[in-house]
Amino acid sequence: MRVSFQINLSTQKTPSYFGKEKERLKQAGSQKLMLKRRKFRFIRHSNTFSICSRTCGTIQSCAMRIIDLTHPFTASMPAYPGDPKSGLKQIASVSKDGYADHKLETTMHAGTHIDAPAHTIEDGKRIDELPLESFRGRGMCIDARERKEIDAVLLKDCEIKKGDVVLFCTGFSKRYRDKDYLTDFPVMTEALAEELAERRIKMVGMDTPSPDKIPYTVHKILLGAGILIMENLANLEAFLEIKDFFVEAFPLRLAADAAPARIVAVIR
pLDDT digits (tens, 9 = 90+) for 175-234: 999 989 999 999 999 999 999 999 999 999 999 999 999 999 999 999 999 999 999 999
**Is-contact 149 183, C-beta < 8 A?**
no
Phi then psi dihedrals of residue 98, to 5 deg: 85, -5
What's the confidence (pLDDT) of residue 233? 98
CATH of the domain spanning 113-267 = 3.50.30.50
Of 230, 168, 225, 166, nearest in space to 200 by CA:
225
Q: How far is CA 237 from the centre of its chain?
A: 16
> Dihedral of the CA atoms 198, 201, 206, 212 (nearest 10)?
30
* Residue-range domain boundaries for the chain: 16-63, 113-267
166-183, pLDDT tens digit by residue?
999 999 999 999 989 999
Rounded Cα distance, 195 and 81, in Å: 31
Share of the chain above pLDDT 70, in %: 77
Per the CB < 8 A criterion, the answer to whether 95 and 57 are in contact is no
Residue type (1 letter), 203: M
Report phi then psi at 88, rounded to 5: -135, 105
Chain center to CA of 73: 17
Residue 104, C-beta contacts closer than 8 angstroms, at least 6 positions apart: 73, 87, 88
Residue 216: what residue type?
A: Y
Q: Which residues pair with 45 in a beta bridge?
A: 48
Q: How confident is the model at residue 63 (pLDDT cuts 50, 70, 90)?
A: confident
CA–CA dist 245, 231 (Å, integer): 19
